[in-house]
Amino acid sequence: MTRTLFGTDGVRGRANDEPMSAETALALARATADQFRRGDHRHQVVIGKDTRLSGYMIEPALTAGFISMGLDVVLVGPLPTPAVAMLTRSLRCDLGVMISASHNAFEDNGIKLFGPDGFKLSDATEGAIEARIDRNHYALPAPDRLGRARRLDDARGRYIEFLKATFPRGLRLDGLKIVVDCAHGAAYKVTPTLLWELGAEIVRIGTQPDGLNINAGCGATEPAALAQAVVAERADLGLGLDGDADRLVMVDETGTVVDGDQLMALIATRAVRDGTLAGGGVVATTMSNLGLERYLHTLGLSLERTAVGDRYVVERMRDGGYNIGGEQSGHIVLSDFSTTGDGTLAALQVLASRVQENRPTSALTRVFDPVPQRLVSVRYRRRGDGTTPLDHPTVVETIRTAEAAVAEAGRLVIRPSGTEPKIRIMVEHDDPARVAAVTAAITAAVERAEASLAPAAE
């Protein structure tokens, strides 16, 4: 079914405006409840959120919608997205809901949905929910069958204990000094507490949320502050999470940022050594560096590529029996432990290698030499007819020429973002000069096309 409300990672938009309004949140809750109601048992949904101010609006609207459909609601407050996925299963809930716009600024918010198995919903299921919203007709229960809401006070502790169980038995982080940047987001208490309990010395940044500062100049998408803190504190490494803590970047002791591709390569190498790798390879998206693919081939492993979005990675992992996957941006999915990307879980696996091999982080995490790559984002205006600058004839021709220029030793990926009104332009090639030239040409063409199309959006 066609989806217009859902994007690549749930529903997302500017808070207090459509589709992120209280009215739409209530309608979405009712439609989702109707989609998942089965039989006469007492249905239950768990709702978590990050630290955005607008969470105080979206959470009660969703709660009202579910309760009006006869579902009991379990509220867990600020908690990472993967924690909500874990609790959905462990509490035997029919649904899980995370209120977050992930790496976006505080002005935005979003709603991510999980099925009873803890996995994000398929495109088909999201389409069916949208169809129910359009029909706007539900069998509402009698007053004595309304749901109830309760708060789960030990949710944070449950998640911390779950994470500890993924760390090798008997291993400790004693002697490591780690800077942790939680982006003033959902993991601001969980991740520093976990690492401290495992023995590390912790330097905290991005752990003072005020509802407005989530992802602002910090976290996985803006790691400069983390890198500076690692060097200034003479730490062994730094960990940067995004607003809902489902993605991770690492910083080595020199202040160099380590992306998701290097982390996946490191985790896969360890899994091959330990005999725990499943599927004969790794699943990543079209954005992952060609150097990762070449490195995996030296190990006799494949790199399976999907569309951008960690749920597409998870779908391919489930279909092919893979247990390691992720995105260059830092979504790492380890299906032996979790059903979705988990930045803290991925960090623990890298930290286990750091302790076991006792090598500097810089040596440990430089697994392969990346192919020169540039990623540029160009903002555009949304239009009622759904067109973007990529539909402009001059952009189409520029891209065709660029594809020929990189074909023999590189890749070109150009797409509209599924979470923001931006065109993502990724160019990689063994020749860095060609990367720069091709990127500049496409970027200029997209910007010119957007300028020429802008009046149509007025």
- The residues annotated as belonging to the active site are 102
C-alpha closest to that of 75 among 52, 59, 61: 59
Q: Percent helix, strand, coil in the chain (nearest 5)?
A: 40, 20, 40
Residue 407, Cβ neighbours under 10 Å: how many?
A: 11
Q: Please tell me the distance from the alpha carbon of residue 289 to that of residue 369, in angstroms, as a whole number.
A: 10
**What are the structure tokens assigned to 358, written together?**
């006792």
Partners of 77 in beta bridges: 48
Q: How many residues make up the chain in this entry?
A: 458
- Maximum alpha-carbon separation in the chain: 70
∠ Cα 452 456 458 (to 5°): 120
Question: What separation in angstroms does the CA of 270 have from each of 146, 264, 324?
Answer: 50, 10, 11
DSSP string, 244-308: TS--EEEE-TTS-EE-HHHHHHHHHHHHHHHT---TTEEEEETTS-HHHHHHHHHTT-EEEEE-S
Task: Give me the long-range contacts of 155-159 (CB less than 8 A, separation at least 24).
Answer: 155/48, 155/76, 155/77, 155/79, 155/83, 155/87, 156/76, 156/79, 156/83, 156/189, 156/190, 156/193, 158/86, 158/87, 158/90, 159/79, 159/80, 159/83, 159/86, 159/87, 159/190
Place of tokens 């009622």: 384
H/E segment holding residue 373: strand 373-379
**What are the structure tokens assigned to 288, written together?**
């992952």
Burial 269-304 (b: 16+ CB within 10 A, else e): bbbeeeeebebebbbbbbbbbbbbbebbeeeebbbb
Collect all residues with Cβ–Cβ distance below 8 Å to 451 and sequence separation of at least 6: none
